[in-house]
Every structure is written in structure tokens, then in C-alpha cells.
Amino acid sequence: MSEKLDLILEKLNSLDQRMDSLDKKVDSIDKKIDSLDQRVKTLESNTNTIQEMVASIAEDATEIKEKQNRQQVAMEKLALRSIEHEAKLERIK
């Protein structure tokens, strides 16, 4: 009878050790999940910041294109005036 009790105790101790090992592994997994969760939150925050920056850059690019178009029109007018003045000077000569 004592041998059976010893065997049962031995099995229980073995199970207890395995449970402790599993608890440690679960704790480790929980920590990794928490770390990954924090990293995901950081990535989401960075993504939002990048999206805002891209929107700002797109606005800036649109403004630059508009200014370039206005400058192009002004340069075309100046070129036309220059040609007209040159033609007048040729007629005066």
C-alpha cells in the first residue's frame, strides 16, 4: 500500500512540475503577446502619422503644380510681349 501511495505521490509531483513548466510557458507567451500588442499600437500610430504626412505632401505638390502653371502662363505672356517688342523695333528700324 505504501508503495502505491509513493507511486501516486511521485506521479502527482511529476504532474505538478509539468504544470509549473506550462505556467511559465503561458506567462512567457502572455509577455510576448503584450509586447506584440504594444508594437502593433506603435505601428498604427506611425501609420497615422505617415498618412498625415502623405496628405500634407500631396497638398504641397498640388500647390506647387498650380504655381508652376501660373508661372508658365506668365512666362508665355512675357515671351509674347518680347516677340511683339522685337517686331516693333524691327519696324521702327
pLDDT tens-digit readout, 43-78? 999 999 999 999 999 999 999 999 999 999 999 999
Which three three-digit cell numbers place residue 46? 506611425
> Is the model's pLDDT at 93 over the cut of 80?
no
Where do we find the cell 504594444?
38
User: Whole-number mean pLDDT of the chain?
Assistant: 95
Which residue type does 66 have?
Answer: E
Q: pTM (2 decimals)?
A: 0.56
Core vs surface per residue 42-71: b (16+ CB within 10 A) or e: eeeeeeeeeeeeeeeeeeeeeeeeeeeeee
Residues 6+ apart with CB under 8 A from 43: none
